[in-house]
Amino acid sequence: MSRVLPFVRTVLPAVAGTAGLTYRRFLPASLPGGVVWASLWVGAGASVAASGILGHPVWLAAVAVAAVLLALVVRVVRRRLSADESEPCRVRSLGRPSLDPGASASGISLRVDHETAA
């Protein structure tokens, strides 16, 4: 099952080595997974090639449209999630440079008022 999940497929050998799993025990567990994973992708490629869909340029346009729509959906969802998490704030004034020892390193004091959502 770990061969199908991209991140797990990459990290699993390192984790097995760190855990002290010997190669003699790791190989019999990993080999069938590798054969199934390779067979899955070769079978999928053969099925697509046999279907004849690659001979039509329409599939390329459909894939491009699907990719653009997916990118737009991901962008909208990320913006909404980040908007929900962030608290609205407004800068009231930048002030004037000050020689006050309590001022910031740049000498400019910045006051930010956080508005609470009502």
CB atoms within 10 A of CB 84: 7
Domain count, the chain: 3
Structural domain span for residue 106: 88-118
pLDDT of residue 90: 56
User: Rounded to the nearest 5°, which phi and psi values hold at 27?
Assistant: -60, -50
Q: Are residues 6 and 45 in the same domain?
A: yes
Which of these ranges, 7-16, 21-30, 51-60, has the smallest mean pLDDT? 51-60
**The whole model's pTM is what?**
0.42
Question: What's the rounded Cα separation, in Å, for the pair 17 and 14?
Answer: 5
Q: Are residues 65 and 35 in the same domain?
A: no
Residues 6+ apart with CB under 8 A from 111: 91, 92, 93, 95
Q: What is the pLDDT of residues 45-90, one digit of tens each?
A: 899 888 877 777 777 888 889 999 999 999 998 888 887 665 555 5
Q: Are residues 80 and 92 in the same domain?
A: no
Q: Maximum distance among all alpha carbons in the chain?
A: 77
pLDDT of residue 107: 52
What integer is the mean pLDDT of 4-26? 87
